Amino acid sequence: MGLLSGILLTSLIGNTYAAYHDFGIPASKATVDVRVFNVANMTLLNETHAFILPVVPGHESAPFPMYSFLVEHRASQKRFMFDLGIRKDPENTPPAISVALASGFAQLEPYKEIAVLLQDGGINLTSIDAVIWSHAHFDHVGDMSTFPNTTGIIIGPETDTSIYPDNPNSSLQASDFVGHNITKVDFVNSKLTFSGLKAVDYFGDGSFYLLNTPGHLAGHITALARVTPTSFVVLGGDTFHHAGQARPRPAFQKNFPCPAHLLEDAKSSVSTDYFWSHDSRPGAFDLRSRAQALLGISDLPDRFYADPVAAGVSLEKVATFDADADFLVVAAHDISLRDAIPYFPAYINGWKASGLKEKVVWEFLDRANPAFVFSPT
């Protein structure tokens, strides 16, 4: 193969980043510590179609964990949270949420709100400098009145901060803000762009970046936490809700080949009435020749993505991290991870050394995993 055709081939494959620096991320030895909580397990009843398509019969209801992250920057002794999950008393949210919950829209297993989980774990709430909301939905904003006024709120620049009852449709209310310093992330004046996403270097040392990922909701942001000098956790918020919206993509399959037993099982477990690929035959699904993610972002009228086209663009960009060996993407409600990731008080910093990513990324295709939604039941 000549040099020219080699170059052509490389450019045709595209998006096959080899390491974090190929994304435009500067080198740094500065890191943060990240610990994960699952605040609550919620099942949205007959709402799968509002998130993912297609919905295969028997999978109309969607189980959702709600991850919340404690991020600690040792160099500055600062602590902050990324997302809080749901408040303890969701009946006290504005009608946009409380009425839907009262009508049986969701089932919640018993849970403790994040302020209690933190204090039970010996984390004094006065030590939390700020709470970052990936976006202002009820299952992310928690109850800011449980945090002291010294804890600030950090939100995406396009976040709608109107409150009920001034805005009768708002799911936010005065107690979500009162007394807290509110900071909107300034992406406009940042020169950083990683994989097409505008980024802000939060501490100015390369340890923690906020990324502009609109679509699910205006102002939706995600974060890139450097947990070792060369590995990152992507705090994905609601960029996607199901691992099958991110996978498989060609670069992902190349870097993370599907384990042989799941590849074989997928032939019969993934219904060819709903899913197809180049080398599939009726009743025999071929995963390897699947050129795009199995599940799409819902664009139905009652979808939970404000702008599904913009959400799709953000997801494509986040998916380039997912396909790379230096990044572990943790979306806020990715149930395929629920029984596999280490929770507080453990740290998730060591995910790469422990081989966690290789163990979990195809779990959504295992019939025994609660994320499995690919054949009728």
113/238 with CB nearer Zn ion: 238
| Residue 339 DSSP one-character state | T
15/43 with CB nearer Zn ion: 43
Scanning residues 182 to 211, which ones bind Zn ion (CB under 5 A)?
none
Indicate whether 143 belongs to the interface with Zn ion (CB under 5 A): no
47/238 with CB nearer Zn ion: 238
> Exposure string (b/e) for 317-327, b if CB count within 10 Å is 16 or more?
bbbbbbbbbbb
**Span interacting with Zn ion, options 37-45, 77-85, 151-159, 235-243, rule CB under 5 A:** 235-243
Indicate whether 238 belongs to the interface with Zn ion (CB under 5 A): yes
Indicate whether 47 belongs to the interface with Zn ion (CB under 5 A): no
**Span interacting with Zn ion, options 136-144, 166-174, 279-287, 292-300, rule CB under 5 A:** 136-144
State in angstroms the smallest separation of the CB of 196 from Zn ion.
23
State in angstroms the smallest separation of the CB of 323 from Zn ion.
23
> Exposure string (b/e) for 163-201, b if CB count within 10 Å is 16 or more?
bbeeeeebbbbeebbeebeeeebebeeeebebbebbbbb
CA–CA separation, 352 and 354 (whole Å): 5
CA–CA separation, 103 and 199 (whole Å): 40
**Span interacting with Zn ion, options 27-35, 73-81, 205-213, 231-239, rule CB under 5 A:** 231-239
**Span interacting with Zn ion, options 28-36, 92-100, 115-123, 134-142, rule CB under 5 A:** 134-142
CA–CA separation, 64 and 42 (whole Å): 5
Q: What is the enclosing helix (H) or strand (E) of 252? A: helix 250-255
CA torsion angle 304 174 64 147 (round to 10): 150
Binding residue for Zn ion, selected from 83, 139, 307, 326, defined by CB under 5 A: 139
User: Are residues 370 and 377 in contact, defined by beta-carbon separation less than 8 angstroms?
Assistant: no
Binding site for Zn ion (CB under 5 A): 139, 238
